[in-house]
Amino acid sequence: MRRDLQRRRMIILILLFIAAFLLYRLSLPSPQKPSVMLPRKSGLLAEDSHFLLNGIPYRILGGSMHYFRVPVPFWRDRMRKMKACGINTLTTYVPWNLHEPRKGKFDFSKDLDISEFLSIAGEMGLWVILRPGPYICAEWDLGGLPSWLLRDKDMKLRTTYKGFTEATEAYFDELIPRVAKYQYSNGGPIIAVQVENEYGSYAKDTNYMEFIKNALVERDIVELLLTSDNKDGINSGHLEGVLATVNFQKFEPALFSYLSSIQSKKPVMVMEFWTGWFDYWGGKHHIFDVDEMMSTVSEVLNRGASINLYMFHGGTNFGFMNGALHFHEYLPDITSYDYDAPLTEAGDYTSKYFKLRELFGVYNAEKPLPPVPSLTLKASYGAVDLKRCLPLWEVLHLAGEPFKSAEPINMENLPVNDGNGQSYGYTLYETTIYGGGKFHTKGNVRDRAQVFANSQSVGTVDYKKEEVHIPEVPAFRKLAILVENCGRVNYGPKIDNQRKGLVGDVYLRGKPLRNFKTYSLEMNSTFMSSINEVHWSDLSECKTGPTFYQGALNVEGSPTDTFLRMKSWKKGVVFVNGKNLGRYWDIGPQETLFIPGPWLWPGVNEITIFEEYEAGQTLFTVDTPILGKTQYVE
């Protein structure tokens, strides 16, 4: 009897336990959509005029979002917003320069945790098209290539030059096994992988694309391969056995017919439909009309094609990561990568979002679409209380021993960072001069520099202004040239010529200057925390010239996103709690810098500004971004 009772109690306990567990499981959000749960037979196939995924016709309704432009705490939120808009496939590039900042030293942690990003996408029920480069364009410094490649004076980027292929293979040895795990056939979300990026517009080496393709396949990339090209490159970008796709903003019937002429009975895909456009310093904030966007998206879908929206959510070029264009003129991109995309830089909805949602609601197999997540709060925290200042000249010793050389050395070839050179930021070249006269750059300053005689600014030189006059003084003086790398070109033939700093001789009275002391001012986190250890001055004690300013941003309660208004500040860089928010410049168009809420903490937050010319009167935060005067994309 007793034993029976015990057994019965035991059984009841076990049943209760099982019930509790089941209830708990049910209460969790289902990790994957039912379609994802079906047994997997075959991944994405392009063997007919439409795609098949697991044997079922599949139309790609894609959206681009780059994990490296969006802080980790936002990844889920942005993906949830994609799902709610009817996006079924997420597309991202992979930035080599961030993942391998020094040759052989890899970083896949925190904001660069691509495994985490892919696994969240899978969890959210988004398929992924991965675009691992190694060149990615993306309005990113050197199109994502690490600057240490440029230490080799014979380097030929994006070719089968040995120095490039060996570096690519070593990088892929690290990257590809991490992502291969997340392929469809391994139970992950990756359904396709892109081979390089718009190589047709460059096409210097006929063996190169085959090399990249093999480098992927040899490392167990088994899902569908594709190439993507714009109209300039479509003729020479595609590869045998790899699906060609196109990029455009305005519908181009000719591109569609070209695609069917080179690959009949294949699905048509627009890999990059540009929902907006990027901005450059000195220009206006580009916008692309929502109705025009919608009519092109409808046209593409009506024709039965697949589409990926580039960008769905642009994010931010934090730090010094912006790229540049240089055709007739050098034009560095701004910090914001808002792109006038369906989600703003800070992840907010736009009218594009809601119109797309209506349309994608019809085409997406998932019905109804998930509800639209609630808005994320933005705050205005009022004024930043500026407290102290520190002239650049007082902290040069914290940048390490200066490098001495007779001739100027470009930043990539400086003997810093364990033989990897300097990648980003500023480089200061110092020498001694006697007297004054005409200082001329002969085009060797990349990209702009402020020139100082005994710490007094005598002017700024750049691509357009190559000459400044140094006032005549019959004495020896220190000449300092503070050169800024404003961002390496990411597209076009000039990508072959992107060494920064002083890339050749600069002249005084027609004679090349010699005997330099060179300081690497990367303004990395080591340097930025070391400047907190020295004595700072009262605000009244700092004159004009390159100076750090520091102040406190007070946040009551739990922090939310905000925007720093740089009104009346001239040019420089802002750091929040040691994180580099990016550059500002009074030539616009951008007037505010995005501060992600997760980078703030309750209470006092430290704002450090490196201002090159003259501090602004005030500094404050606002709850709405100002991206500047607008202009429709041509």
Ligand X SMILES: *[C@@H]1O[C@H](CO)[C@@H](O)[C@H](O)[C@H]1NC(C)=O
Active site amino acids: 198, 272
If the CB atoms of residues 421 and 588 are measured against ligand X, the closer one turns out to be: 421
Phi, psi (deg, nearest 5) at residue 36 = -75, -25
If the CB atoms of residues 107 and 614 are measured against ligand X, the closer one turns out to be: 107
Among 138, 145, 191, 416, indicate the residue that binds ligand X (CB under 6 A): 416
Beta carbon of residue 410, minimum distance to ligand X (angstroms, whole number):
16
Among 106, 108, 161, 527, indicate the residue that binds ligand X (CB under 6 A): 527
Does 522 sit near ligand X (CB under 6 A)?
Answer: yes
Answer left, alpha or beta for residue 455, where phi above 0 means left and psi between -120 and 50 means alpha: left
Does 98 sit near ligand X (CB under 6 A)?
Answer: no
Does 159 sit near ligand X (CB under 6 A)?
Answer: no
The DSSP element (H or E) to which 226 belongs, if any, is: strand 224-229
The DSSP 8-state label assigned to residue 2 in this structure reads H
Does 612 sit near ligand X (CB under 6 A)?
Answer: no
Among 526, 554, 568, 630, indicate the residue that binds ligand X (CB under 6 A): 526
Angle of helix 75-85 relative to helix 114-124, nearest 10 degrees, comes to 40
The DSSP element (H or E) to which 474 belongs, if any, is: none
If the CB atoms of residues 415 and 512 are measured against ligand X, the closer one turns out to be: 415
Query: Quick one: which segment of 190-198, 297-305, 487-495, 517-525 binds ligand X (CB under 6 A)?
Result: 517-525
Beta carbon of residue 505, minimum distance to ligand X (angstroms, whole number):
24
If the CB atoms of residues 400 and 578 are measured against ligand X, the closer one turns out to be: 400
If the CB atoms of residues 85 and 416 are measured against ligand X, the closer one turns out to be: 416
**589 preceded by cis ω (within 30°)?**
yes
Does 550 sit near ligand X (CB under 6 A)?
Answer: no
* 371-390: contacts with ligand X (CB under 6 A): none
Query: Quick one: which segment of 22-30, 151-159, 514-522, 545-553 binds ligand X (CB under 6 A)?
Result: 514-522
CB atoms within 10 A of CB 263: 15
Among 197, 308, 520, 580, indicate the residue that binds ligand X (CB under 6 A): 520
Does 613 sit near ligand X (CB under 6 A)?
Answer: no
The DSSP 8-state label assigned to residue 496 in this structure reads G
If the CB atoms of residues 387 and 579 are measured against ligand X, the closer one turns out to be: 579
DSSP assignment of 202-265 equals T---TTHHHHHHHHHHTTT--SEEEEEE-TTTHHHH--TTSEEEEEESS--HHHHHHHHHHSTT
Does 399 sit near ligand X (CB under 6 A)?
Answer: yes
Side chain identity, residue 522 = E
Among 91, 92, 159, 524, indicate the residue that binds ligand X (CB under 6 A): 524
Beta carbon of residue 449, minimum distance to ligand X (angstroms, whole number):
17
CA–CA separation, 411 vs 424, rounded Å?
8
Judged on CB neighbours under 10 Å (0-12, 13-18, 19+), 241 is exposed
Query: Quick one: which segment of 20-28, 244-252, 521-529, 563-571 binds ligand X (CB under 6 A)?
Result: 521-529
Does 417 sit near ligand X (CB under 6 A)?
Answer: yes
Q: Closest by alpha carbon to 62, among 86, 32, 80?
A: 86
If the CB atoms of residues 372 and 395 are measured against ligand X, the closer one turns out to be: 395
- Helix ranges (H only) for 263-306 are 290-302
3-class state of residue 389 by DSSP:
strand
CB atoms within 10 A of CB 384: 23
Does 304 sit near ligand X (CB under 6 A)?
Answer: no
Among 400, 471, 578, 603, indicate the residue that binds ligand X (CB under 6 A): 400
**Residue in the shown chain whose Cβ atom is closest to ligand X:** 524
Report yes or no: 488 and 324 within 8 Å, Cβ to Cβ.
yes
Phi, psi (deg, nearest 5) at residue 177 = -60, -30
Query: Quick one: which segment of 310-318, 433-441, 470-478, 518-526 binds ligand X (CB under 6 A)?
Result: 518-526
Q: Closest by alpha carbon to 124, among 160, 81, 169?
A: 81
The DSSP element (H or E) to which 141 belongs, if any, is: none
Report yes or no: 473 and 435 within 8 Å, Cβ to Cβ.
yes
Query: Quick one: which segment of 20-28, 60-68, 175-183, 515-523 binds ligand X (CB under 6 A)?
Result: 515-523
Residue numbers at the binding site for ligand X (CB under 6 A): 399-400, 416-417, 520-522, 524, 526-527
